[in-house]
Every structure is written in structure tokens, then in C-alpha cells.
Amino acid sequence: MWYAALVRILRRRIVLTIIFLLSLTYCLVNLWGNSGNSYKDIEEITYKREQPLIWREDPINNGTNGGKSKGCRNSVQGKTLLVDEEGYVCSRSNVLSNGCCDSNENVQYNCDTCTESEGCCAVYEKCVSCCLSPDKRPILEKAMELASGRQTALFATVRDQFELCLAKCRTDSHSVQHENQYKNPETKFCYAYIEAHESQRDN
């Protein structure tokens, strides 16, 4: 008898409505509470390097004749220019069979389209070349120290200064303002740390 009475009560619309509203409120409160913390939790993840980054002036890089005998890694994607891991920039048509630029015909650590004060360049390959100079290590260390979010994760995976320079010159969100305009369209490839535009800073 009591079972039938309980079923009748549960069938009433008002009871079902109350149960639905309570469930909906519970879901919304949990969803809203977790969404506020998820981004923060991602930001607080610490990315640790598994091996120390190899800098150009490290002994491991000396006495190898610049790696020319075994070949070079290079920036690959340039339409007209390439930069090799020794910091030489050359035209795509003049790359040697081992992937290196001819060191006798090209300038190493070419910064001729770069502004030293900003650490930004007009040409991607010259940004990488300039960035590879051993004297840029303090600037790069500062950039890595001040990096946040995705850049921190990216910098934790690079093995040496060449990979760091490829990544740093390719994408730097601090070289843009309002998320879709370059601060300086003439020198948009940057190896140095740039203060974020006010449109990108946390309020």
C-alpha cells in the first residue's frame, strides 16, 4: 500500500520539477567551479627539462668543424632562404648536399635585418642566424626564464640553441598586439623576450 502511495507522489509534476531543478543547479555549480580552476591548474604545471640545453659555446660544440663533415640541420621550410645550425644563411639553391650552407660564401650569425635593441628581425632565417650567436645566450636565458604557458612547455623540449632559436623566432605571441597585429610589421621575428602588449596582459 505504501509503495503505491510513494509512486503516486513521485509521479506528480511538482516533485519531478523540483528534482530536475536541483540536479541542474548542482551540475551548473560544479561546472562553473571547475572551469575557473582548470586554466589555473594548467598554468601552474611545471615543465622540467630532462637534459641540459646545449649552448653553442659548450665544449660539445667545439672542435667538430661545425659539424660540416656529418652534415647540418637547417630551417627547411624557407621559400628562398635557409639557415643551418651553424648560423649561416644561404639561398635554397646554394645549399650543399649535406644540408649546410657554404661557410666560405656566407656570413655566420647574420643580423643585418635585426634591431639589437629589440631583438627582432625582418627575415625569419636571419633571426635564427643572429639568435645562434654565442653572445645571445644571456638574452635567450632571460626569454626562457620569463616564458609562460605553451612557450614554457615548448622550451622544455628543445635540445640545443638551434632548436630554441627556430622556435623562438617562429612564434612569439609577445610580438603581436590585439592578438592579430604585429607591434612592428617590419621586424616581426623576435629572439629576445618582449614585454607583452597591454591587450595580452592579465587584468
Domain count, the chain: 2
Cell of residue 18, nine digits: 523540483
Q: Is 33 found in the same domain as 63? A: no
Task: Give 82's contacts (C-beta < 8 A, 6+ positions apart).
Answer: 74, 75, 76, 89, 90, 91, 92, 95, 101, 125
Please tell me the predicted confidence (pLDDT) of residue 90: 95
Model pLDDT for residues 34-89, shown as the tens digit of each residue? 655 544 444 445 567 778 899 987 544 443 444 455 789 999 888 899 999 999 99
| Per-residue pLDDT tens over the stretch 129-151 | 999 999 999 999 998 888 877 77
Pair 69, 123 in one domain: yes
pTM of the model: 0.66
Instruction: Give the C-alpha separation, 66 to 161, whole Å.
Output: 14
Same domain, 37 and 63: no
- Kindly report which listed range (4-18, 38-52, 183-197) carries the lowest average pLDDT score: 38-52
Mean pLDDT of 6-33: 76
Residue 111 and residue 164 in one domain: yes
User: 32 with 105, same domain?
Assistant: no
Domain, as residue range, for 9: 2-43
pLDDT digits (tens, 9 = 90+) for 100-119: 999 999 999 999 999 988 89
